[in-house]
Structure 1
């Protein structure tokens, strides 16, 4: 007999959990829309060549590919040395690559500065573990067509506002700039060819510490004087005051001589976010070692942090070069993604029930016509209604209904008029 379990790394969602997830999604969607973003939808599949065009980073290795239709055994044997030739489509592994394709296709129909919402599932062939799934929901907002720091500021403010609306107050955003990272590596003396590998190692700083990063760089045989300079800088970092998000604080956390263009961009971003949240501390933290693994980031990068957990709740950055791969000309773009699967576990499950939700408990002999008449009368008044035949364990039936979001119940007997139902609270 085949297994009745869902595919490994995927889940069935029971009614109570589905209700809670939809409530959280409604809040996210409403806050995004309040900030002027418009929701779009793209297909769950994209062309194989697009998903493997070198713009998706390591996620390209995790893509689920779809075999071409109609292949016979001979064609499959002929492609044994080239599995990619067996596929022409793949499930999307994120929402950014489809958005870039979408904008390139519909640019003439969209505003000059386009603010997009995408809330949809994506698929990655991850190794399943706690909190990591092969199918999961992403909640993205992106701004295309604005190269200024205003775009990043809008995304950050909208994302922080969304967490506030979910009562996850106290969030902050770690910020860096890929241009600052590259400049920093140049200033230490790392060659252009070794920088991608150096960034991969620096990205492990939170896990292995400064000594672990330096040791790995030496084991990779990175340029020795550059590693020495980087080690000195790492040790110096402990004495730097990282408070605030002004020019002095940012320059103090970078090697001397940081480019004005990069620092000014970050400072203006901080000022814009501060103006949108008067009376509160600026929830921005400059982190010169924030890397984010996606190779398509070209400028500002950020991650969403919350004091209740040690992991990030989302992130994003500027990817000005991606859309140009489809259009043949550069188009500025920046996006922010909330980690829905992580956030939904933190949201208080209270108030997840419907304000007007009633269970009608009836005896076996009540005619179907009378049941539907009573149900329809309540539905017409905006009430959510479930019909349940009375069981011996009435308490268990009502407890299950309460767990599914129902707040009231009524009993219905044969011949009883719908307007005589006596609604009682479930708890």
Structure 2
């Protein structure tokens, strides 16, 4: 028998789960639009060269490539394993690279400060495992053309508002700046050549702790005195008094000699978020890294106390659009982890419209049946028609699992006036 399973790392969704996912998407879209963002759409494929231009970090290695049309055996021999000679397109691995290309293409038709929504599937050649898929949905909001702290604050406020709409109280945003990270590594004494590898190791701090990071840095063979300085900083005495997010908290978490403009930018984000929400649920994390190579400034992750992983993240990528235009354009984005949000929410949401199953006898006139259905639809109901079976309970259980909350039996003489709706469950 042929294998009928979907490709590894990809999934089918039954009607009830698909409906649930669409409800979550609708809430996210509604909240994003309420904050002044406008939805766009980009192709699922981009040029191979664009997807492998160094903007996507490690995700470029996970890109699905599309072979050129009309290749023959000689082309494969001539390529000698060079994929770039065989492929001219690839499936997008995120929505940020396509957005940068979209803006460069359409900037003449867009406002000076453009606020975009993208909600669409992306593809990565991951090793499939629990919670990690090869096809998944991303929900991005981005602001292009605003270099001020207002842009980050708008993204954070809109994201927290969206999380609030799901009833996920207690969410917070961890925040840092890649410029602060670079300055800190410079103060410790790591060379510019060592920094990419050092950041990879520091990114493991939550998993292996400070001692584990120090041990791995020594194994890497990076500047010993810099590792010593990092270890000393991690072991420094720290008091536990509460400090709200702001300049004092940020300076206390960093070594001396950090750039004042970076600290002021981060503190400014907190001031705007506080003005909008009455508080700033922000946590400055000097060792938040985020792996994307295109980040140039602020970076952040969405956290919730119920889980030990992030529910989204993003950052500023001021250099990316300049790759297409020849001049830098400030840009910053925040992506909610749609798949993780869906998994976290309880499956107790119902459609806004009443959903009814009409169970009819075999002898009911088709015209009468469809007319009755049309009348209920005009009243604002969602209606499914099912012919009565011997196992009526099984039919109704299936309907309930698909999101239907009521049923009615239809006989040959049933009218709208005599139709009796009964609740399922």
Per the normalisation by structure 2, the TM-score is 0.98
Distance 1:77 1:237, change over 3 A: farther
| C-alpha distance after superposition, 1:340-392 (max 9, x if no partner) | 00011111222323431110001112222222111111112221100011111
- Segment drifting more, 285-294 vs 350-359: 350-359
Taking the aligned partners of 1:156 and 1:118, their CA distance within structure 2 comes to 16
Runs of 4+ in 1 over 6 A off after TM superposition: none
Taking the aligned partners of 2:200 and 2:295, their CA distance within structure 1 comes to 14
Taking the aligned partners of 1:367 and 1:246, their CA distance within structure 2 comes to 71
- Aligned partner of residue 27 in structure 1, secondary structure: helix
Q: Deviation at 1:20?
A: 0.9
Q: What is the Cα-based RMSD across aligned positions, in Å?
A: 1.2
**Which residue is 2:356 aligned to?**
358
Alignment check: 8 A CA contact 2:353 2:380 kept: no
Taking the aligned partners of 1:58 and 1:239, their CA distance within structure 2 comes to 38
Q: Deviation at 1:249?
A: 1.1
Q: Deviation at 1:161?
A: 0.3
Taking the aligned partners of 2:394 and 2:198, their CA distance within structure 1 comes to 59
Spell out the pairing of 1:346-385 with structure 2 (5 A cutoff): 346-385=344-383
Alignment check: 8 A CA contact 1:66 1:89 kept: yes
Taking the aligned partners of 2:192 and 2:237, their CA distance within structure 1 comes to 24
**Which residue is 1:322 aligned to?**
320
| C-alpha distance after superposition, 1:246-267 (max 9, x if no partner) | 2111101100122110111111
Count of aligned pairs between the two proteins: 425
Spell out the pairing of 1:1-400 with structure 2 (5 A cutoff): 1-236=1-236, 238-239=238-239, 243-278=243-278, 281-400=279-398
- Aligned partner of residue 235 in structure 2, secondary structure: helix
- Aligned partner of residue 345 in structure 1, secondary structure: helix
Unaligned runs of 5+ in 1: none
Taking the aligned partners of 1:370 and 1:210, their CA distance within structure 2 comes to 73
Alignment check: 8 A CA contact 1:19 1:352 kept: no
Alignment check: 8 A CA contact 2:314 2:334 kept: yes
Taking the aligned partners of 1:290 and 1:382, their CA distance within structure 2 comes to 49
Q: Deviation at 1:115?
A: 0.2
Q: Deviation at 1:418?
A: 3.7
Alignment check: 8 A CA contact 2:20 2:349 kept: no
- Aligned partner of residue 267 in structure 2, secondary structure: helix
Alignment check: 8 A CA contact 2:65 2:89 kept: yes
Taking the aligned partners of 2:341 and 2:34, their CA distance within structure 1 comes to 20
Distance 1:191 1:241, change over 3 A: farther
Distance 1:241 1:203, change over 3 A: farther
Alignment check: 8 A CA contact 1:354 1:407 kept: no
Unaligned runs of 5+ in 2: none
Taking the aligned partners of 1:403 and 1:257, their CA distance within structure 2 comes to 60
Taking the aligned partners of 1:416 and 1:212, their CA distance within structure 2 comes to 73
Alignment check: 8 A CA contact 1:79 1:85 kept: yes
Q: Deviation at 1:408?
A: 1.4
Taking the aligned partners of 2:240 and 2:315, their CA distance within structure 1 comes to 25
Distance 1:157 1:266, change over 3 A: same
User: Please, which of 413, 416, 421 is the counterpart of residue 414 of structure 2?
Assistant: 416
Alignment check: 8 A CA contact 1:242 1:253 kept: no
Taking the aligned partners of 2:219 and 2:242, their CA distance within structure 1 comes to 30
| C-alpha distance after superposition, 1:78-116 (max 9, x if no partner) | 213312211000000000000000000000000000000
| C-alpha distance after superposition, 1:386-413 (max 9, x if no partner) | 0011111111211211111111111111
- Aligned partner of residue 416 in structure 1, secondary structure: coil
Taking the aligned partners of 2:406 and 2:2, their CA distance within structure 1 comes to 40
Taking the aligned partners of 2:81 and 2:386, their CA distance within structure 1 comes to 59
